[in-house]
Amino acid sequence: MAIEKNKTCVFVIDGKQAFFYHKANSEKLIKVQHAFGNHVNRSEHHTKASLGRSFDSVTTARHAIEPHIDERLKEKQRFISEVLSKLERLFADHTYKHLIIIAPAKVLGYIRTHLSKSVKEMVALEIDKDFIHESPEHIQKEAFAHLI
């Protein structure tokens, strides 16, 4: 697939952070100022006092019942959904023509199922690696090497 590199957005995400990069005319990958951090809303988390209780079948002892939902997973999914909505807006104004997504496998799977059809059509490459802490130079080398 021949793509215009200066019209390409490189989207690097894990469950806690996301960065948008674009290829400028200078041939360097530039970090766009849309960087997000996953901030857990502590008020939504269950405390020991808010958990349900169950009785032992034999004694009068009571035990806390843990919720069946993993709060960290729920928070990651909420974070990724928020970032995806920002990504959708970036592509709605047609600033970019192509998208490269770099994310760990589980995050990439979640993105695939929740990305809109119009943005899915812009995806030029998906890389299932965790590059969130890598330098822009390393990300550029890996991302554009797969396109040649």
**pTM of the full structure:** 0.75
Element (H, E) at 115: none
User: Which residues contact residue 50 at a Cβ distance below 8 angstroms, ignoring those fewer than 6 apart?
Assistant: none
Q: How far is CA 68 from CA 52, 110, 134, in A?
A: 12, 20, 35
In a domain, 61, yes or no: no
In a domain, 56, yes or no: no
In a domain, 63, yes or no: no
* Whole-number Å distance between alpha carbons of 12 and 16: 11
Q: Residue 103's domain is classified under what CATH number?
A: 3.30.420.60
* pLDDT, position 42: 47
Q: Which two tokens stand for residue 120?
A: 């899915």
Element (H, E) at 80: helix 71-92
Q: Indicate the DSSP class of residue 69.
A: S
* pLDDT, position 145: 84
The count of domains in the chain is 1
* pLDDT, position 70: 78
- The parent domain of residue 117 ranges over 5-40+69-145
**Tens-level pLDDT at each residue, the chain (148 residues):** 555 556 788 999 998 899 988 876 667 788 775 566 655 554 444 455 555 555 555 666 655 666 666 788 888 999 999 999 988 888 888 878 889 999 999 999 999 999 999 999 999 999 999 999 999 889 989 888 877 6
Q: Indicate the DSSP class of residue 45.
A: S
> Residue 95 phi/psi, 5° resolution?
-70, -35
